[in-house]
Amino acid sequence: MSVRILIVGAGPAGLAAAVSLRLQGLPVTVVDKAAAPHTHPKAIVLWPRALEIFDRLGIADRLEAAGHPLTNQHYHSNGTRVASLTFSKLRHTKYRYALAIPQHTTERILRERLGELGGSIRTHTELTALRQDAATVTTTLTDLDTGIAQEETYDWVIGADGVHSSVRTATGIAFSGQTYEQTFLLSDGPCDTELATDSAHYFMTDTGVLVMVPLPDRQWRAFISAPREIPEGEPLLDTVARVVSMRSPVPVRFLEGHTAGRFRIHRKAAEHVWRSRVFLVGDAAHAHSPAGAQGINTGVEDATSLAWRLAGVCRGSVVASDSDRVFTQWADERHQVVANVLRDTDLQTRMWGVRGLRGRLRDAVLYGAERTGLLDRVVIPRQTQIVQRFSPGPGRGRPKAVGALRSHARLPNVEISTDGAPGARLHDFLSMTEPIAIEFDPAGTPGHRTTVSRRAARGKEFDVVSLTGPALRSALGISRRVTCIVRPDGIVAAVAPHTTSTKGVSTP
């Protein structure tokens, strides 16, 4: 295919876009201004939804092998546990835990995968200018070894170049919001402690927050809000170690080999994530507090939910006149996700900081939310990004639902045995490139059957997977034949009671 796609930035979002596009047979050029991969302590948690995406990119097994599973998240207030999240309570997913894994390991595995798919990264190459017209994007790429700047023309550009995105600035897209006043400090390294290694621990105290997260290889991430006063000349690592022992009710002693860093956090979003031939994904599109660990996860989803649409446009399976509608849908959905992430992470960050009477109120709310099951029903699915429900947009009616199948929402990845392959799950049938139709027939012959054929609906053809058998009744709560159109990103585009022509099902 002769299409030219440039991805600016080889962080997790850019790499996920590159791998996904390569898997769909598209050539990509990836540039990064860094001379070599970084090893900084950054994101450390992958949630189940990101693991589902990485599974489809063919690297979930490698990530699992390199990571450390977390099954719980405990909240303590001034030494007393007030609430816990238990990820094993998640339903309808293969991944009922969070994976602790340093960001540079995730990036290494993504880079390896890109290499296997014939892709590579032009390192030490910075995008220094960009302009676009209706047909092309003209970029200036500067080789930072030689200082030589060169104009290169692309059909599409994906800006995955982080919070200070040059693509965003050159495209004239505003990035508005605020920077929090509070500074945070962190340190990664081995610790001598009896804190449980299957859980993340949040300690909210009257002097600030401490978060302790176990990492692979018996390492820990310690993350603190900086204390108001730091003795002059105290090394950063000593400050973190001192504050950790002060705020943790369980002794924590730093052993040799810790790195330490200081950072400010933002609550900002790009006004647009798409302008004509340029897209923004990851931190280039949104920056938020690491509370709830949403950054890398949201960026990877931005990238892969764009990739199948862009590939469809490049291949011509989405006709040119329809491409605006397809990209508008992507941009609308990403804005909805980002609004939720900004709200949730802001709430968590503020929750960390309250003290006195308001702190006791927060504790009571957390305690009550756990006891009433609200954390299990609402907080866990949202934080792990397993529940995704989009609004269809003005004038497009309300989402339709039959049992657990709901339009504009993630297809529950229930386990289902088909054709003698026990353990198969619904997402195993998804296509990388095109929406498919799934017909569910709970009254069909027990034993289940999968057939693949082509079926037309509203002028479009879909591969049709037929799943039969009473197990569907309990797994999905459906008692009659139902047809769904499911997008490559696992979102149900439409759901309707089955008709042989699937006329009632509108195309995605």
166 sits near ligand FAD (criterion: CB under 6 A): yes
Taking the complex as a whole, how short is the minimal distance between the CB of residue 316 and ligand FAD, in angstroms?
29
Residue of 133, 111, 418 lying closest to 275 (CA atoms):
133
Taking the complex as a whole, how short is the minimal distance between the CB of residue 461 and ligand FAD, in angstroms?
35
Q: Where are the beta strands (DSSP E) in 170-245?
A: 175-193, 199-205, 208-215, 219-225
222 sits near ligand FAD (criterion: CB under 6 A): no
127 sits near ligand FAD (criterion: CB under 6 A): yes
200 sits near ligand FAD (criterion: CB under 6 A): no
Taking the complex as a whole, how short is the minimal distance between the CB of residue 25 and ligand FAD, in angstroms?
23
297 sits near ligand FAD (criterion: CB under 6 A): yes
Taking the complex as a whole, how short is the minimal distance between the CB of residue 155 and ligand FAD, in angstroms?
19
Near ligand FAD by CB under 6 A: residue from 4, 22, 42, 309 = 42
Taking the complex as a whole, how short is the minimal distance between the CB of residue 161 and ligand FAD, in angstroms?
4
Near ligand FAD by CB under 6 A: residue from 26, 45, 191, 505 = 45
Amino acid letter, residue 167: V
Taking the complex as a whole, how short is the minimal distance between the CB of residue 211 and ligand FAD, in angstroms?
9
Q: Which long-range contacts (CB under 8 A, 24 or more apart) does 407-410 make?
A: 407/492, 407/493, 407/494, 407/495, 408/491, 408/492, 408/493, 409/491, 409/492, 410/49, 410/386, 410/490, 410/491, 410/492
162 sits near ligand FAD (criterion: CB under 6 A): yes
Q: Contact 107/11 with Cβ under 8 angstroms?
A: yes
Taking the complex as a whole, how short is the minimal distance between the CB of residue 311 and ligand FAD, in angstroms?
20
* Paired tokens of 447: 């034993």
Near ligand FAD by CB under 6 A: residue from 161, 301, 370, 489 = 161
295 sits near ligand FAD (criterion: CB under 6 A): yes
Please identify, using beta-carbon distances, which residue of 43 and 486 lies nearer to ligand FAD: 43
33 sits near ligand FAD (criterion: CB under 6 A): yes
State CA 185 to chain mean position distance.
24
Q: Alpha-carbon distance 125 to 8, whole Å?
A: 9
Q: How far from 41 is each of 24, 152, 171, 220, CA to CA, in Å? A: 32, 34, 30, 11
State CA 289 to chain mean position distance.
15
Please identify, using beta-carbon distances, which residue of 10 and 411 lies nearer to ligand FAD: 10
User: Total residues at the site for ligand FAD (CB under 6 A)?
Assistant: 34
Please identify, using beta-carbon distances, which residue of 9 and 488 lies nearer to ligand FAD: 9
Q: Contact 432/24 with Cβ under 8 angstroms?
A: yes
Contacts of ligand FAD in 102-121 (CB under 6 A): 103
Contacts of ligand FAD in 3-22 (CB under 6 A): 8-14
Q: Alpha-carbon distance 322 to 320, whole Å?
A: 5
Cα-Cα-Cα-Cα dihedral of 151, 156, 162, 163, to 10°? Answer: 100
290 sits near ligand FAD (criterion: CB under 6 A): yes
Taking the complex as a whole, how short is the minimal distance between the CB of residue 33 and ligand FAD, in angstroms?
4
Please identify, using beta-carbon distances, which residue of 270 and 436 lies nearer to ligand FAD: 270
Taking the complex as a whole, how short is the minimal distance between the CB of residue 225 and ligand FAD, in angstroms?
13
126 sits near ligand FAD (criterion: CB under 6 A): yes
Given strand 137-143, what is the order of strands in its sheet? 125-132, 137-143, 149-154
Amino acid letter, residue 98: A
Near ligand FAD by CB under 6 A: residue from 63, 241, 296, 436 = 296
32 sits near ligand FAD (criterion: CB under 6 A): yes
Given strand 409-410, what is the order of strands in its sheet? 409-410, 491-497, 482-486, 436-441, 460-468, 452-457
Part in contact with ligand FAD (CB under 6 A); list of ranges 158-166, 353-361, 365-373, 473-481:
158-166
- Look-up: residue for tokens 């907080």? 379
Element (H, E) at 366: helix 356-371
Near ligand FAD by CB under 6 A: residue from 63, 110, 137, 186 = 186
Residue of 45, 97, 48 lying closest to 386 (CA atoms):
48
**Partner residues linked to 462 by β-bridges:** 455
219 sits near ligand FAD (criterion: CB under 6 A): no
Please identify, using beta-carbon distances, which residue of 33 and 258 lies nearer to ligand FAD: 33
Angle, CA 330 vertex, CA 500 and CA 426 arms, to 5°: 45
Contacts of ligand FAD in 245-274 (CB under 6 A): 263
By the criterion CB under 6 A, which residues form the site for ligand FAD? 8-14, 31-34, 41-45, 103, 126-127, 160-162, 166, 186, 263, 282-283, 290, 293-297, 299
